[in-house]
Amino acid sequence: MEALKPRKRLAIFISGNGSNAKNLYDFFDGSPTVEVALLVSDNKESMCYKWALEKQKTTYFLASKDDLSKESFVHHLQEKRLDLIVLAGFLKKIPRLLVRVFDQKIINLHPSLLPKYGGKGMYGDHVHKAVLAAKETQSGITIHWVNEQYDQGAVIFQKAVELEKDEQIEHLRKKIQRLEHEYLPKVVEQVLNA
């Protein structure tokens, strides 16, 4: 009889409410091949972080941005035997130490078609406002490998969506979120099974 392979272990980093993180939990719930092993948040008020605590999921709270660079945090992540870290609305820059230790094991979800509208300060509605101000005809999502620069790692996946002539930010936000919820879990699964 063939031995069961251990499930691939995933960590999710969040700063906001964590709708993409919750979507990943739901997608991999009961999966024989992937488990969400850890949720890391730098926001105690995040709805997903509160949900994870309530459901007794394994969590880690980053009390300060310096925690990301601490060897104790890196060691904690290593102990979890992670196969992949997903930045799903995590706003802090990933330090060199983490990028080195988890080389080609960290991916980021960005709410635009990179290289447009990436970089420091370009997240959430800041991105959507810039897209609308530039009168773009398309926006979308990019999932990419994380390196030491904001939003500059190699692209894994992009999906575009058409914009209306009078596109409003609320409508654009919903369009992008639909793409994120549909494609992020599939891409994570593909990366883990590659």
Catalytic residues: 110
- Identity at 20, one-letter amino acid code: N
* Distance from C-alpha of 139 to C-alpha of 160, rounded to nearest angstrom: 6
Which of 41, 32, 33 lies closest to 11 in space, CA to CA?
Answer: 41
Spatial CA neighbour of 158 closest among 176, 143, 173, 179: 143
d(CA 164, CA 171): 10
Separation between Cα atoms, residue 54 and residue 22, nearest integer Å: 13
Measured distance CA(128)–CA(133) in Å, rounded? 9
Task: Please give the Cα distance from 157 to 115 (Å, whole number).
Answer: 13
Closest-CA residue to 86 (of 157, 146, 19) = 146
Q: Which helix (H) or strand (E) holds 86?
A: strand 84-87
Tokens 């925690």 correspond to 67
Which has the closest alpha carbon to 107: 158, 155, 179? 155
